[in-house]
Every structure is written in C-alpha cells, then in structure tokens.
C-alpha cells in the first residue's frame, strides 16, 4: 500500500521540499500551511502520518497536535528551529511521537518517517492488514487487548497515542518486572536508545495522566528509583 503523509509548514518552500523528498521515496504527500488546514484535512481525508512545524501563526504545532489527539492516533513528527529540551518536551507532551530540529538532512527525515510508520503498523494502527491473535493482558482493573489495540481502566476506554500504547502494552505484558529507560525505549521504538531519558519520561507522564486516578501517587505504573519503571502486578480485588 502507499502511505499518505500530511506535511504542514507555514514556510511554503520547506513544505514543498519535504513533499518532494517523500514522493521520491514512494510516499503520497499532501501539503498544508497552518493548523486549521491540518485539522480540516484530517477531518475529511485519511493520512498515515503527520509532519508538523511547531512555530506557525494562528494554531501552532503544539495546539494543533493537542486538538488532533482527541480524535486521531496517527504518528506525528514535529519540526522546530529550536533545539532546547523544553521545546522537545512540550512537543512530546502535546502528543507528538518524534521531534526534529531544523535544519535536518532529508535522509534523516525519511528514516524517521519509515521508523514511525513501521512502528505504527506493528502496533496495530488502523491501516494494518493483518489481524493478530487475541491476546489480553490485565493487572488490577487495567486491561490491554492487543488484538483490538484497546485499553480500559475500570471498564472505561483509554485513548492512547501509538507510542503510549506501545509502552503500556510492553510493561503490562511484563507486569511486575522492572525495566530501565533504555530497555523501554529499545523495546518500543525498536532502535538504539540515545538520549532517551526525556522522551520516555514524557510518555510515562502522559500515560499516568490517562490511567491513574492520582498520577502523583500511581497504583499501576511506578518508578523504581535509580533503575527505571515497572507495571505493578495487581489482582483486581486489590483495588478499591
């Protein structure tokens, strides 16, 4: 199948250049120039990935991603001329799956696009053709159904991005085991863990906000100081 990618940058030359790189690699690319246009296109068309600039007039990339995440779980790669960690954290907190600082090499962008699409389909995105065997992981009242790629807590559905789902599924599948940040990153991102601390920590925080009654005192996803994180192995009757 041919993947459709939406590219949004208020600099038309940059957006056009990215689309040219993508098309030369075999992807279908659609160009947009502001957040409002992105939301309208995503409402009326199907895309498999979004490349989105942060600094734009009107709805910026952060705001656009936050709104988009209410209804869509497609991978989002954010672009920014800034390199500070806080900007990267803001982007990931908004729901982005990856972050690139301008200027960048086209080959690196294409590599990241391929990585995101590969991970998205392997996690059971809506465009995956294969239907995996039903596998359900449960701890307490948290249930991860890896066949339908759904998560519920106390019977209520939880909406997760592909990365968040990957982390939660991995830890729930191995409930009770402690994993380092590098181990989590390599298991979910399927690439070497370089400077992965902030990336994993931001995703963990977002997951807690979605599955925990009190994220500051988590029952499920816990930190093991100096080592990493683990999913508590709970029996349903232990919760109350």
Does this model's pTM top 0.75? My answer is no
Q: Does domain 4-122 have CATH number 3.40.50.300?
A: no
Provide mean pLDDT across the span 10-26: 94
Place 209 in a pLDDT band, splitting at 50, 70 and 90: very high
Average pLDDT along the chain: 86
Q: Is the pLDDT of residue 18 over 90?
A: yes
- Taking alpha carbons only, the member of 134, 116, 133 closest to residue 125 is 116
Burial class (CB in 10 A: 0-12, 13-18, 19+), 46: exposed
**Mean predicted confidence (pLDDT) in 206-235:** 93
Mean pLDDT of 50-74: 88
Q: What is the mean pLDDT of the segment spanning 49-53?
A: 95
The CATH architecture one would assign to domain 136-238 is: Orthogonal Bundle (1.10)
pLDDT per position as a tens digit, 131-175 = 334 478 999 999 998 878 899 999 899 999 889 999 999 999 889
Looking at the predicted structure, is the pLDDT value of residue 46 above 80?
yes
Among residues 66, 163, 173, which one has the least CA distance to residue 118?
A: 163
Q: What is the pLDDT of residue 131?
A: 37
Q: What is the pLDDT, as a whole number, of residue 89? A: 76
Q: What percent of the chain has pLDDT over 70?
A: 90
Residue 87: predicted pLDDT:
67
Over residues 110-137, mean pLDDT: 66
Instruction: State the Cα–Cα distance between residues 201 and 5, nearest whole angstrom.
Output: 27
Alpha-carbon distance values, 121 to 3, 49, 113, 145, 217 (Å): 11, 11, 12, 16, 33
Tokens of residue 188, six digits:
């979910």
**For residue 70, what pLDDT is reported?**
80
Predicted local confidence at residue 238, as pLDDT? 42
Domain ranges for the chain, please list them: 4-122, 136-238
Sign of torsion over alpha carbons 85, 91, 95, 97: negative
Residues 80-113: pLDDT tens digits?
887 666 666 777 778 888 888 888 898 999 999 9
pLDDT for 226 equals: 87
CB 126 within 8 A of CB 169: no
User: What percent of the chain clears pLDDT 90, i.e. is strictly above it?
Assistant: 52
């Amino acid at each position: 199948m041919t993947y459709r990618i939406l590219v949004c940058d208020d600099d038309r030359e940059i957006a056009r250049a990215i689309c040219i790189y993508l098309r030369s690699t075999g992807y279908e690319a659609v160009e947009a120039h502001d957040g409002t246009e992105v939301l309208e296109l995503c409402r009326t068309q199907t895309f498999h990935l979004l490349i989105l600039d942060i600094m734009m007039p009107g709805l910026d990339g952060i705001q656009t991603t936050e709104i988009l995440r209410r209804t869509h779980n497609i991978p989002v790669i954010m672009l920014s001329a800034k390199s500070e960690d806080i900007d990267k954290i803001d982007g990931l907190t908004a729901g982005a799956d990856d972050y690139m600082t301008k200027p960048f090499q086209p080959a690196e962008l294409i590599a990241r696009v391929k990585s995101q699409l590969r991970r998205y389909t392997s996690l059971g995105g809506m465009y995956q053709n294969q239907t995996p065997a039903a596998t359900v992981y449960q701890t307490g009242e948290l249930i991860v159904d890896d066949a339908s790629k759904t998560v519920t807590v106390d019977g209520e559905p939880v909406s997760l991005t592909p990365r968040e789902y990957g982390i939660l599924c991995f830890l729930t599948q191995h409930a009770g085991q402690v994993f380092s940040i590098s181990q989590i990153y390599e298991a979910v991102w399927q690439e070497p863990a370089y400077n992965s601390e902030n990336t994993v920590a931001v995703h963990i925080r977002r997951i807690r906000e979605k599955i925990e009654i009190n994220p500051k005192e988590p029952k499920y996803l816990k930190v093991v100081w100096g080592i990493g994180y683990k999913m508590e192995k709970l029996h349903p009757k232990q919760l109350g």
